[in-house]
């Protein structure tokens, strides 16, 4: 008969420094999530996903896409305007925009495809 010997490891409790560090890391992670949600702005009661990107490798020319446009056209317009202003301020320090296809266009002339509103403009720092 073969006898199997097992050895138990001593129980080690984590030091207070390690516990404090883990708690701080957890708190920072939670606060980072809360900040992202706090940065979100609702337009016409809807939280839109918007994205601004440069066009033709020129930073001053940009395109903003806003989804879901069907939730509220007026809200999508304002969300697009807001994202465009953020883009121009971040890149040029000015909120001046010369719109090519802007949010103030009439309803029938807006570019909407696949529930996505597209706006185009040029940052115009004075």
Residue 49 lies in a domain: yes
Residue 80 lies in a domain: yes
> Is the pTM for the entire model greater than 0.75?
no
Confidence of residue 6 (pLDDT cuts 50, 70, 90): confident
Per-residue pLDDT of 78-106, as tens digits, reads: 999 999 999 999 999 999 999 999 999 88
The 3-class SS string of the chain reads: CCCCCCCCCCCCCCCHHHHHHHHHHHHHHHHHHHHHHHHCCEECCEECEEEEEEECCEEEEEEEEEECHHHCHHHHHHHHHHHHHHHHHHHHCCCCEEEEECCCCCHHHCEEECCEEEEEEEECCC
Residue 55 lies in a domain: yes
CA dist 92 and 115 (Å) reads: 30
Q: To which residue do tokens 């706090």 refer? A: 38
Residue 66 lies in a domain: yes
Answer whether residue 71 shows pLDDT above 80: yes
Answer whether residue 125 shows pLDDT above 80: no
Residue 9 lies in a domain: no
Residue 31 lies in a domain: no
Give the mean pLDDT of 65-75: 94
Domain count, the chain: 1
Give the mean pLDDT of 51-65: 91
Domain that residue 95 falls in: 42-123
Residue 87 lies in a domain: yes
pLDDT of amino acid 86:
94
Q: Which of the given ranges, 16-20, 75-79, 109-113, 121-125, has the highest pLDDT on average?
A: 75-79
Q: Is the peptide bond before 68 cis (omega within 30 degrees of 0)?
A: yes
From residue 16, give the alpha-carbon distance in Å to each of 25, 74, 83, 125: 14, 54, 45, 54
Answer whether residue 38 shows pLDDT above 60: no
pLDDT of amino acid 35:
47
Residue 13 lies in a domain: no
């Amino acid at each position: 008969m073969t006898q199997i010997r097992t050895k138990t490891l001593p129980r080690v409790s984590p030091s207070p420094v390690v516990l404090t560090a883990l708690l701080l890391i957890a708190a920072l992670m939670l606060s980072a999530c809360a900040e992202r949600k706090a940065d979100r702005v609702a337009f016409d009661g809807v939280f839109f996903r918007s994205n601004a990107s440069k066009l033709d490798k020129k930073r001053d020319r940009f395109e903003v896409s806003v989804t879901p446009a069907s939730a509220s056209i007026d809200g999508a317009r304002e969300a697009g305007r807001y994202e465009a202003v953020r883009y121009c301020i971040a890149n040029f320090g000015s909120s001046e925009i010369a719109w090519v296809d802007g949010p103030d266009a009439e309803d029938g002339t807006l570019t909407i495809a696949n529930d996505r509103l597209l706006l185009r403009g040029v940052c115009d720092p004075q």
